[in-house]
Structure 1
Amino acid sequence: MTGNRRMLVLRAVVEDYIRSHEPIGSTALARRHDLGVSSATIRNDMAALEDEGYLTQPHTSAGRIPTEKGYRYFVDRLSTVMPMSPAQRSGIAAFLSGSVSLQDTLRRAARILSSITGQVAVVASPSLSKATLRHVELVPVASMALLAVVITDTGRVAQHTIGVRRMPAPDALAALGEAVNARCGGRPLTAAADLVRTLARDPRWQGHAALCESLADAFDGMADDEMAGELYVAGASRLAYQGSPDDLAPLFDALEEQVVIMRLMSELSAEHGAAGAGVAIGSETHTPGLMHASVVAGGYGNASETGDGTTDAGDGATASPVAFVGSIGPTHMDYAATIAAVRAVARYLTATVAAGGADTAEG
């Protein structure tokens, strides 16, 4: 029973510290929480929690604050994450529904998440490596150059210039485009590349084999380019009000390292699928600049691996996100509220991606 009560004391300390950002004493804890024991007993429990590494005493005051281990215990036992209110959800939808493109939606998503949490918000555009081909258009742009305009299922638009020795006649080029779309539509870009190479061996397209090979190489290049997705960041200035100057400089440096942030948030979101949110606290981020910060990230997009290697947004197989949305703040962040906000924005973005990015192109 003592161990259970001790953990209730830990939970109370974390909740009060998140709210006040001041060291918590046993007398204040006994007054605010119905723990059923005296402040002296609570003081003994807090001392035991300190010995076990869950709490620490920052200076000579009687108050204590949670350690990284204490926060981890608290986060792992968040029994319920209170959903956002209908008013908050409608506010998110209203703000994002005014978007004119997928880019604009993602930029707005970062801004609204930062506004809700008071922290840094990071939103990644869907990775081309996880996208499937919706449509490709082959457009002559010079006497010996074509532009392959690739539109994916997530609404992303990518462009690739292809050099040609001899420009196909307009009818032949249109027919080739139709053949590529018929054969490759709904396929991941790597699979589409393989299928286009089979076209190069088809007698009907023998005269355009080099073009087919170049288009296949373009698909492969897009699929391999993990960094083709853009990162939208909002709210960095809010950090100035939430941390000590000594903590802020390395944190701003970490935010500049977008590859590091993308890898961290991608791993967190992938671990929990497109329905949940992962949390990394301090040293768990394995990032020096985030030693005094926590990261909450969730995936959006619900891409599912199907039996033939393609992806869809259905309920058949295990869903994996096509991109992530996340929040970075101090270790004393309101974890429950941040997780709820990340999930709410991720759900909206999942719906947007399912609609093909609102059928809009990126600028």
Structure 2
Amino acid sequence: MKTSSPRQEPTNEPTIRIGALAPLTRPGWVEAGRHLLAGLELAVGEVNDAGGIGGRVLELLVRDTAADPQRAVAAVDELNHLGAAALVGEYHSVVARAAAGRADALGLPFLCSSAVLDALAEQPTNWVARLAPAQSHSWQAYADFLLDAGHGRIAAATQPSVYWASGVRLLRDYLASHGGTVIELDMTSLTPVAMCDELAGLGVTALLLLVGYPEPALAIVEAVRRDHRLAGMMIGAPAGQPEFAEWARLLGADGMAIPFLRYLPGRLGPLGTRIEMLLRERLAEPPSFVAFEGYDTIAVLAAALHAHGTDRARIAESWPQLAVTGTRGEIRFSRMPGIGVWQWAWPPVQVVDRDPAEPDRFRVLHLR
């Protein structure tokens, strides 16, 4: 049910304002926010360099969510009041869900860049679309990788969170249907060393990190790597913690060979190759998949704006009509069972790890 909050009508201002949400300070995942913003800003610059939208330039109004859902809701209200034509961005799923709920209530189109929680909206909405794959889709690919690699009995180090709970449930259900088992280790009551003690007696072959970053994820990796009883134990990180360069800097050799999910194709096409080079220059390091998600977000929104101008309702109505060439393939939105937003079905999904012999190189272990 919609609230009675007033909507901001489109204006004839010389710029088209786009609200952008990203975690730019702790406890948010700052590196993810920085990469997301780099992709958004690069694409906005290219749209403006090409003449903007009907001669009007895009203006990105960036708000730091710091991984706080309430802060995100306040930012959505502010951006609505400022006349944003649409909302983009966010990395953390629980934060994106709060932003999506408020955007739906206000009638503000929201193109979510990077959050994967299936229940991004509590009820079906036409105002929200998403580029990242749903967690049920991508984490099933990770479960397939585990099974193919012979890991049918696994442990998961967990913390309380809607996102982690959803991930555990998805893995447990899928692995159970193939004869596998998931054993949870609650890190609210265990130190990393105590967790290793429990892990040593479980008879598992893999440990998954379903916990916050940097801590306790880093401490868990270090404890496992140093415990001779756990030699040969595979550590996995389906949420993608090893994607960013900071992981390699902080953990060194301990952080290598930890499989994780990323949303890139096996080979980038011409557009993706060009954007990768520009993002690398902007970031001064290899761009993560999150940076590509940011770029693709603006590419999609620009297509909607070119076709329909800044009318919010028409932008939202256009999601299923769009067909946009992105950095990772053609982007089209559809309705998927159990997902209440317009969904790109599907971005490419990889399971990769960092090569111990060359930490900046990613080895593709599974591709969907």
TM-score by length of 2: 0.27
**If you compute each CA radius of gyration, which structure gives the higher value, 1 or 2?**
1
> In proportion to residue count, which structure has more helix?
1
